[in-house]
Amino acid sequence: MHMVSAADALQEILISESELRTRVTELGEEIRRGYEGLDGRLLVVGMLKGSFIFLADLVRAIDLHCEIDFMAASSYGNSTESSGQIRVTRDIKGIEGQHVLIVEDIVDSGYTMDYILRLLRSRNPASVKLVSLLDKPSRRRVPVQIDYCGFEIEDKFVVGYGLDFAGMYRNLPFIGVLKPECYR
Ligand code: PRP
């Protein structure tokens, strides 16, 4: 079987490893300042699977007492177009009275975060905020407030640093743009 190397599938590197490192460090500091005077700990909730690398780097840049948990959601629809019908496939424990920071890799249509933010806010937490590494505002179908955003990007198919195409490329250490012929 012929193996296609990751580099062959990429059109360009959009965000390099060092750019990611710098921005993630800045985000960690922005988040620490945003929770100045926090009484107790911050519950950091990563959205599986895409956020796992971002979360791992980000929490090491947040100088606060943190607890870490994970949620997963899936949408009915194909791989590139979210349908707006979201289903939680892994949930967290009760969050009443807690300060919750959701960690996402990307906000695209906004359907996932619109649903998750509403769901978590209905559970009487002290606060719920959102940090997303990437934001594709041109694709938005429902408005979502991103409290901390890493990079605003154009509508290109991005992979790497946790983001996949058909389950692959999550392990690339940078954010790359997939060649259109790979998914068309
Ligand atoms: C991606 C991403 C967000 C969501 C964003 O998850 O991680 O959760 O899509 O899209 P939306 O704004 O249009 O709702 P995906 O379903 O690909 O799962 P994954 O995180 O396991 O890769």
pLDDT digits (tens, 9 = 90+) for 48-101: 999 999 999 999 999 999 999 999 999 876 656 667 899 999 999 999 999 999
Pocket test for ligand 1, best of 108, 114, 159 (most atoms within 8 A of CB): 108
Ligand 1 pocket list (CB less than 6 A): 47-50, 74-75, 82, 104-112, 164
Contact between 78 and 69 (Cβ < 8 Å) = no
Å from CA of 50 to ligand 1 middle: 7
Å from CA of 23 to ligand 1 middle: 21
Contact between 27 and 148 (Cβ < 8 Å) = yes
Q: Mean pLDDT, the chain, as a whole number?
A: 94
Question: Taking Cα atoms as reference points, which of 90, 50, 51, 93 lies closest to residue 71?
Answer: 90
Question: Taking Cα atoms as reference points, which of 44, 33, 23, 61 lies closest to residue 175?
Answer: 23
Rounded to two decimals, the pTM is 0.95
Which ligand 1 atom is at minimum distance from the Cα of 74? 16
Looking at residue 84, what is its pLDDT?
Answer: 80
Rounded Cα distance, 94 and 90, in Å:
13
Å from CA of 28 to ligand 1 middle: 22
Q: Whose CA is nearest to atom 20 of ligand 1?
A: 50
Contact between 105 and 134 (Cβ < 8 Å) = yes
Contact between 64 and 35 (Cβ < 8 Å) = yes
Å from CA of 112 to ligand 1 middle: 7
Any idea which residues carry the catalytic annotation?
A: 108
